Amino acid sequence: MFSATGSSMTGIVYPLLALAVTHSATMVGVVSFAGMFAAALTRLPAGVLADRYPLKPLMVVPDLVRAATTLWIVIVILTDSLTLPQLLVASVVGAVCGAIFDSAQTVAIRHVVPPEQLPQALAQDSARGHVAGLAGQPSGGYLYGVGAVLPVLADAVSYVACAGLTMLVRNKMRPSRAPGRLRTLWRDIPVGLRYVASSPFLRVTLACATGFQVVFAGLTIAIIASQGAREGAAFHLGTALSMAALGGILGAWAAPSLSRRLSPATLLYSFGWACCAALATLGQVQNIYVIGVLLAVMFFLATPANATLFAVQIDTTPPELQGRVVSAALLAAGIAAPIGPPLAGLLLDSTGQAPTFLLFAALVAVLTIVMHLSPTIRTMRMPGGPKPGGRQAAESPQPDPPS
């Protein structure tokens, strides 16, 4: 929670710093692209580590490395020597450490939560991130207005606090397999990808998730770059983004009720069409608080939809493959995400606000139609019910765990 709050601060501050250094929306997108691409490359080895080694060190060490990197950015800001390459390095290191931390944290949930409670647990975990965003984004914007170094320093402190609290956890959350030799570890990396490729449910849902990742990755950059030049923009942007986080919190609170009242397919369809309408509207409005309301609607439905997909994926994956399959799924869904920020920057620089958001809306409409046409999504069931895709999915070949 502490590190997530600090990260949400720098999530708005780093793009503003890049905009201040370069005066280019495209370069703002490049900074985000570098971090996302580095995270994508780290996903698979991070999953192997989560399956082979105790999870607590895999959460503590990345937080300490991120603290050191963030403190370095504090120093260069104080000495008035901040450059674009330094922001790129900080973005890459933070993303790599974040990928390792996220894989370990996701697998840790399986250690403490029974399968029938996975949707609620994952929704609550998502709510934790949204609470951090609710507190961190307006705070980051306000502190940036006071002094650019303050939110970055707060981020460094949050990483240290999170590492210290994680070290106090008594459960070591050891993996189901003993650590292997380095050569064996590298041989295990493709196992998660093979499992994903063998599952019709994972293939179609991750293909759609890839497109949504491009949109959501470019969304924040598009809003910051289009609104960031206005007077007092940092605080108002933080407030608007915190409204999105509030929508996510409310979505996590409503997730159990929505899961009971709506089928998983209906929940996904509602999410897709609501995002399409909100994105089309975003291209036409200038009031930052109307933008915040539209973002809140999107994240309200995104939280239970995302929790549903992750719950089904975790429930249908053998325990000894959890880390590798989770990381492979995150990689497959996020492999195109780095395209989003530079794409948003280029579109804003060349065409303006309205065409950028209309293009994103069109992409979401296509993805939602694909979900309507997919039998595996229509027959998807929550944990405890029939497996997604029915008998065909249950009989699809599964890769054997490595020896």
CA angle 261, 290, 337 (to 5 degrees): 70
Residues comprising the chain, all counted? 403
Q: Using CA atoms, how far apart are residues 163 and 394, in angstroms rounded to an integer?
A: 40
Q: Using CA atoms, how far apart are residues 145 and 143, in angstroms rounded to an integer?
A: 5
Q: Is the pLDDT of residue 231 over 70?
A: no
Q: Over the stretch 42-68, which tens digit does the pLDDT of each residue have? A: 887 887 788 778 888 888 999 999 999
Q: Under a CB-based contact definition with an 8 Å cutoff, are residues 400 and 320 in contact?
A: no
Q: Over the stretch 66-86, which tens digit does the pLDDT of each residue have? A: 999 999 999 999 999 999 999
Q: Which residues of 236-259 are buried (b: 16+ CB within 10 A; e: fewer)?
A: bbbbbbbbbbbbbbbbbbbbbebb
Q: Over the stretch 234-245, which tens digit does the pLDDT of each residue have? A: 677 777 877 888
Q: Is the pLDDT of residue 400 over 50?
A: no
